């Protein structure tokens, strides 16, 4: 892993930059066949050179902003470029608005997504159709259902076909969502939950052990759909709940091991822009407010600058005789 980098607490002055998103660094073209084969490659992905809204502008349908926890398109695009080749199959078992699928078809890959909530699966369908109208050469489909039963949702013919899984677990039932200041009433939040709270089937409503168990079930299903040597990329970051740090990345690693996958890399996907060799934060309203309050109270809290990227792989078959006793 790279050495920690000092994070500047200033917001990015170029938030209105309209340049296309880019993603640099990573493990390179050989990663899909042997993820750990090139230790000299960068493990920091520059995936926030432009803001999330700029990355999605014109590329996604407007309702996409209503999902409470959207992956940056550049993160998905980087993972797909690094670990697959054109024509490969990419899978996202918790696809939300279809970010992984959209970036895959724009890069000439095929993709399948599973989404539990119909509201988001409808938007994912719309985003895939929008990508294809814009000339994307790949094909993609969205399946509505519970990803803990993914092998019963998808055709058996897909077993052993996927080259890559890209996904992210939920961070709880309530997140920051969309924020709008209102005169006299402070800040109004909207679209900050996965559903109205009546359907607890979403993993977002489980505690951390329950989330880890459910995610392990999902990854075990994904493992049967992966080619031998196929790669799983999971983005996650710790968060605080009532002041206590919830270590989601470690839970993801544990879930992957429980699913029979092998951890091979731990990278960093930047949520801050790199300008002149320095990191420029892109904090949310609530994150910036929380950090300011903590620092006023003498707590040296810093803005979140990255997501952990956990990279796991389905083991390759052992050659005959290898590992035998004697």
Express each pLDDT in 288-307 by its tens digit: 777 788 888 888 877 778 89
Task: Examine the pLDDT at 62 and tell me if it is beyond 90.
Answer: yes
Instruction: Report yes or no on 323 lying in a domain.
Output: no
Average pLDDT, the chain: 80
Task: Examine the pLDDT at 251 and tell me if it is beyond 70.
Answer: yes
The pLDDT, as a whole number, for residue 169 is 87
23 or 148, which is more confident? 148
The pLDDT, as a whole number, for residue 193 is 52
| Contacting residues for 180 by C-beta, under 8 A, at least 6 apart | 187, 188, 190
Instruction: Report yes or no on 89 lying in a domain.
Output: yes
Percent of the chain with pLDDT over 90: 54
C-alpha of 120 from chain center? 16
**SS3 of 144, please?**
strand
Instruction: Report yes or no on 199 lying in a domain.
Output: no
* pTM for this entry: 0.79
Task: Examine the pLDDT at 2 and tell me if it is beyond 60.
Answer: no
Structure tokens at 1: 């892993």
Task: Examine the pLDDT at 224 and tell me if it is beyond 50.
Answer: yes
Task: Examine the pLDDT at 211 and tell me if it is beyond 90.
Answer: no
| Contacting residues for 6 by C-beta, under 8 A, at least 6 apart | 279
The CATH code of the domain that includes 75 is 3.40.50.150
CA distances from 61 to 52, 64, 125, 252 (A): 14, 6, 10, 30
Percent of the chain with pLDDT over 70: 72
Instruction: Report yes or no on 325 lying in a domain.
Output: no
The pLDDT, as a whole number, for residue 198 is 61
Q: Identify the domain containing residue 132 by its residue range.
A: 40-172+208-271+299-313
Give the pLDDT band (50/70/90) at residue 184: low
Distance CA 37, CA 31 (A): 7
CA distances from 256 to 65, 249, 296 (A): 29, 11, 39
The pLDDT, as a whole number, for residue 101 is 98
Of 37-41, 115-119, 320-324, which one has max mean pLDDT? 115-119
- What is the per-residue burial (b if ≥16 Cβ within 10 Å, else e) of 34-48? ebeeeeeeebbbbbb
The pLDDT, as a whole number, for residue 158 is 96
Instruction: Report yes or no on 291 lying in a domain.
Output: no
Task: Examine the pLDDT at 23 and tell me if it is beyond 50.
Answer: no
Give the pLDDT band (50/70/90) at residue 106: very high
Task: Examine the pLDDT at 194 and tell me if it is beyond 70.
Answer: no
The pLDDT, as a whole number, for residue 26 is 44
Instruction: Report yes or no on 26 lying in a domain.
Output: no
Of 11-25, 118-132, 170-184, 195-209, which one has max mean pLDDT? 118-132
The pLDDT, as a whole number, for residue 96 is 92
**SS3 of 43, please?**
coil
Task: Examine the pLDDT at 258 and tell me if it is beyond 60.
Answer: yes
Instruction: Report yes or no on 165 lying in a domain.
Output: yes
Beta-bridge mates of residue 193: 174
| Number of domains observed in the structure of the chain | 1
184 or 158, which is more confident? 158
Give the pLDDT band (50/70/90) at residue 18: very low
What pLDDT digit, counting tens, does each position of 146-183 carry? Answer: 999 999 999 999 999 999 999 998 764 444 444 555 56
What pLDDT digit, counting tens, does each position of 111-148 carry? Answer: 999 999 899 999 999 999 999 999 999 999 999 999 99
Instruction: Report yes or no on 253 lying in a domain.
Output: yes
Contact 234, 244 (CB under 8 A): no
**SS3 of 281, please?**
strand
């Amino acid at each position: 892993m790279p050495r920690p980098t000092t994070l500047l607490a200033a917001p990015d002055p170029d938030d209105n930059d309209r340049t296309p998103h880019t993603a640099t660094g990573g493990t390179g073209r050989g990663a899909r066949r042997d993820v750990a084969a090139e230790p000299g490659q960068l493990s920091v992905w520059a995936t926030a050179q432009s803001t999330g809204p700029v990355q999605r502008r014109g590329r996604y349908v407007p309702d996409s902003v209503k999902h409470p926890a959207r992956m940056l398109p550049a993160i998905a695009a980087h993972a797909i470029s690094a670990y697959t080749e054109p024509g490969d199959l990419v899978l996202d078992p918790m696809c939300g608005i279809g970010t992984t699928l959209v970036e895959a078809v724009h890069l000439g890959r095929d993709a399948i997504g599973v989404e539990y909530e119909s509201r988001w699966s409808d938007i994912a369908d719309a985003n895939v159709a929008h990508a294809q109208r814009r000339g994307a050469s790949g094909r993609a489909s969205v399946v509505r259902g519970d990803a803990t039963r993914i092998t019963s949702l998808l055709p058996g013919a897909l077993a052993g076909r996927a080259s890559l899984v890209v996904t992210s677990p939920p961070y709880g039932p309530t997140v920051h969502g969309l924020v709008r200041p209102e005169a006299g009433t402070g800040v109004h939040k909207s679209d900050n939950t996965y559903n109205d709270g009546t359907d607890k089937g979403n993993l977002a409503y489980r505690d951390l052990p329950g989330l880890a168990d459910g995610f392990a079930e999902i990854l075990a299903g994904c493992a049967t759909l992966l080619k031998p040597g196929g790669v799983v990329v999971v983005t996650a970051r710790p968060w605080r709940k009532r002041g206590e740090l919830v270590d989601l990345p470690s839970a993801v690693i544990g879930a992957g091991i429980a699913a029979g996958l092998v951890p091979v890399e731990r990278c960093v996907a930047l949520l801050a822009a790199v300008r002149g060799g320095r990191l420029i934060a892109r904090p949310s309203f609530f994150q910036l407010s929380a950090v300011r309050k903590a620092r006023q109270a003498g707590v040296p809290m810093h803005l979140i600058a990255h997501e952990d990227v956990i990279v796991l792989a389905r083991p390759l078959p052992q050659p005959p005789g290898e590992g035998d006793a004697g």
